[in-house]
Amino acid sequence: MKTQTTTLKQAKAELRAVGMTVRRTDAGDYRVSGRGFSEAQAYYTDELTDAVVTGRSMVAARAAARTVTPECPRCGDAGCECDPRREVRS
């Protein structure tokens, strides 16, 4: 995994590729956020490399937190072909 980012332009391109943004604030910090993130979820840091690493981590954490509603209420498998109306015998 690449952890060294040398320019803000490179950092922006790398995070844009995974759906995140990074910008330099008026105070000189870097602000990392993404589509659908609130201000409370934004991350501020004074290190560009930290901004990129954290941005990638934020994407991974968000993806892991998403839950998929299974298509089949009987077995919970999204690709299942069982008929939920059929009676299951034990």
pLDDT in tens, 51-90: 999 999 999 888 877 755 556 666 666 666 665 555 555 5
Q: Does position 5 have pLDDT exceeding 80, yes or no?
A: no
Query: Given phi > 0 = left and psi -120 to 50 = alpha, else beta, which region is 52?
Result: alpha
Convert the pLDDT of each residue in 6-18 to its tens digit.
799 999 999 999 9
Residues 6+ apart with CB under 8 A from 75: 82
Kindly state the DSSP code that residue 49 receives in the 8-state scheme: H
The helix (H) or strand (E) run that includes residue 10 is helix 8-16
Beta bridge partners of 21: 33
Task: Kindly indicate the confidence band of residue 3, based on its pLDDT and cuts at 50, 70 and 90.
Answer: low
